[in-house]
Amino acid sequence: MGKLRYAMVGGGRDAFIGGVHRKAMALDGQMEFVAGALSSSPEKAIASGRELGLADDRNHARWQDLLDDELRRPASERIDFVSIVTPNHMHYPVAKAFAEAGINVVCDKPLVHSSEQAQDLIATVGKSGSVFAVSYNYTGYPLVRHARHMVRSGQLGEIRKVIVEYNQGWLANLLEGSGNKQADWRTDPARSGIAGCIGDIGSHAENLAATITGLEIESLCADLTTFVAGRKLDDDGNLLLRYSNGARGILISSQIEIGGENDLRIRVFGSLGSLTWHQENPNRLLHSAIDAPPRILTRGCPWLCDAAVRATRLPAGHPEAFHEAFANIYAGAAEAIRARQEGRKLSSLEGDFPTLIDGARGVRFIEKTVESAHSTAKWTPF
């Protein structure tokens, strides 16, 4: 089975997340980086591609050139998918163009800037048949998948309450404007969208809760705050949630919580038990049944579900972490891409990755959160 060839848009020098995507794709030796348009600055794009060993004829100054070039190439040379890791505002035009051309896409989150754009992408993909994955990377952790399994198979009973948090502190001061590229674009409405913290990391929290529980938000009540003077977007956002089954939720996100590194965590409570998982210590999942002592489920143990087992490379106690979770998203997308290429259906365990549906719901979550934050009504319908 040959490697999948991919191009990248964004992810050049000074970018953070592009390199993470490349490492994640490299890890299992199943993907080959062959083309790119790595920056919105043509000079930086070319220089970045050279540093990363792209052939000159596949190293482009503009993403449109990349797309044109790929479409000119014979199928035997063409990329199997494109990975889009630009700032948020470029997701839509790039994803739209590649998907329209029938090329498979893995796109970073939040997907796009508006629900209209999201719906348009869904329609586009509906026509072209492209595989489209959204890199909500945290859902790639094996124990997130086992948590999903436990909830979905009823081991927690009826879900009553979800507490999901994403706590960071790196924007406790005015970092933007001081040369930090990450801080610059993530706090800039033109590139980041209508939300700051809640768009950047609150959206991960929403996705994590939805992935594990499958619950649908019925209405929400949001309080968004900008604590740091001079900042253009929210740096803290907290929500009360009501789910359609009657469950309640609390979503906490912040980028001004000093001491918070990348503290994504979730607790799910049902009528029969609860689960607790923490991204910074991702190899364990705590399960409390109503009538038994809490149990510590660790990655790599024999009592985990198939989806968790498939997402595991190392035995218990040999920790896996962020890169591997990311790689699992790509591995799921790769299965779908190969199935498309081979004209076959995915088995039930294959193709485990966040889809456009997740991406679109995430965009709606951001919109509704901002709407609620400006509303005097307690509950904003979702």
Region 268-287 residues binding a copy of itself, contact defined as CB under 8 A: 269-274, 276, 279-283, 286-287
Q: Which residues between 324 and 363 bind a copy of itself (CB under 8 A)?
A: 324
Q: Least distance from C-beta 49 to a copy of itself, angstroms? A: 13
Query: Contact, 168 vs 254, CB < 8 A?
Result: yes
Tell me which of 74, 179, 293, 343 binds a copy of itself, using CB under 8 A.
293
The half-sphere exposure of 133 on its side-chain side, counting CA atoms within 13 A, is 27
Binding flags for a copy of itself, 48-87, as an x/- string (CB under 8 A): ----xx----------------------------------
Nearer to a copy of itself, 176 or 236 (CB): 236
Q: Residues with Cβ < 8 Å from 332, sequence gap 6 or more? A: 133, 140, 350, 351, 352, 353
Q: Which stretch binds a copy of itself (CB under 8 A): 198-206, 235-243, 335-343, 347-355?
A: 235-243
* By the rule CB under 8 A, 27 interacts with a copy of itself: yes
Binding residue count for a copy of itself, defined by CB under 8 A: 87
Q: Which residues between 310 and 329 bind a copy of itself (CB under 8 A)?
A: 313-324
User: Distance between CA 193 and CA 203 in Å, rounded?
Assistant: 12
Alpha helices in 187-269 (DSSP H): 189-192, 197, 203-213
Whether the bond between 110 and the residue before it is cis, its omega within 30 degrees of 0, is yes
Q: Least distance from C-beta 203 to a copy of itself, angstroms? A: 17
Q: Which residues between 136 and 165 bind a copy of itself (CB under 8 A)?
A: 160-161, 163
Nearer to a copy of itself, 256 or 307 (CB): 256
Tell me which of 2, 74, 179, 230 binds a copy of itself, using CB under 8 A.
2
Q: Which residues between 170 and 229 bind a copy of itself (CB under 8 A)?
A: 170, 172-173, 221, 223, 225, 227
Tell me which of 76, 259, 342, 343 binds a copy of itself, using CB under 8 A.
259
Q: Residues with Cβ < 8 Å from 377, sequence gap 6 or more? A: none
Backbone dihedral angles phi then psi of residue 196, each to the nearest 5 degrees: -100, -95
Q: Least distance from C-beta 337 to a copy of itself, angstroms? A: 18
Query: Contact, 138 vs 325, CB < 8 A?
Result: yes
Q: Which stretch binds a copy of itself (CB under 8 A): 90-98, 125-133, 188-196, 250-258?
A: 250-258
Residue type, 323: H
Tell me which of 5, 13, 28, 44 binds a copy of itself, using CB under 8 A.
28
**DSSP H or E segment with residue 300:** none
Q: Least distance from C-beta 382 to a copy of itself, angstroms? A: 15
Q: Which stretch binds a copy of itself (CB under 8 A): 38-46, 209-217, 236-244, 359-367?
A: 236-244
* By the rule CB under 8 A, 255 interacts with a copy of itself: no
User: Distance between CA 37 and CA 234 in Å, rounded?
Assistant: 31
The conformation of residue 90, written as its DSSP 8-state character, comes to: G
Long-range contacts of 87-93 (CB under 8 A, 24+ apart): 87/10, 87/185, 87/191, 87/192, 88/112, 88/113, 88/191, 88/192, 88/193, 88/199, 89/113, 89/190, 89/191, 89/192, 89/193, 90/9, 90/10, 90/40, 90/63, 92/117, 92/120, 92/121
Q: Least distance from C-beta 173 to a copy of itself, angstroms? A: 7
Q: Least distance from C-beta 236 to a copy of itself, angstroms? A: 6
Q: Least distance from C-beta 56 to a copy of itself, angstroms? A: 15
Q: Which stretch binds a copy of itself (CB under 8 A): 37-45, 200-208, 330-338, 370-378?
A: 370-378
- In 193-226, which positions are buried (b, 16+ CB within 10 angstroms) versus exposed (e)? bbbbbbbbbbbbbbbbbbbbbebebebbbbebeb
- Closest by CA to 66, choosing from 47, 88, 87, 83, is 83
Q: Which stretch binds a copy of itself (CB under 8 A): 66-74, 75-83, 202-210, 290-298?
A: 290-298
User: Distance between CA 210 and CA 382 in Å, rounded?
Assistant: 14
* By the rule CB under 8 A, 23 interacts with a copy of itself: yes
Instruction: Identify the three-state secondary structure at position 2.
Output: coil
Phi-psi region of 44 (alpha: psi -120 to 50; beta: other; left: phi over 0): alpha
